[in-house]
Amino acid sequence: MSRPGHASLPPGAADETASIVRLYAVTDGRTRPRHRLSLHTVLGPGRRQPRPGLAEESGQIIELCRQRRRPIAELAGTIGLHVASVTVLVSDLIDAGSLAVPAPDRADGEGPDLQTLEAFSAGLRRKWPNAAAMAG
């Protein structure tokens, strides 16, 4: 029953609104990841166990990546979340050590690609933010 002066919501709109609000809370309102990630970034399991009380969506991402390596676009499609939200969650899971960007298997033996080096560099900057100032 609708109250006077209030528009009634179409079927399913309340569920969609609740989902958006929950995702906003899970990402702490962030819309940008801390890592430079693309739709094609492939993720695998990290070395650390997920922390207790992890959001359901983050748990799903970890479980999918334990089954096999997956790109962000596939993760977003599988769990039904917007890619921007998934990249924020993935970035947090990389920081926590629950996910990793595995070094690609390169047949040419030339070493890691640029994406892997950028992720490694970002991790070093987070761990030692003043290192560049001390080196110079």
Domain boundaries, given as residue ranges, for the chain: 20-135
pLDDT at 126: 80
Q: Say if pTM beats, i.e. exceeds, 0.95.
A: no
pLDDT at 110: 65
Mean pLDDT of 43-55: 88
pLDDT at 28: 75
CA 74/CA 77 separation, integer angstroms: 5
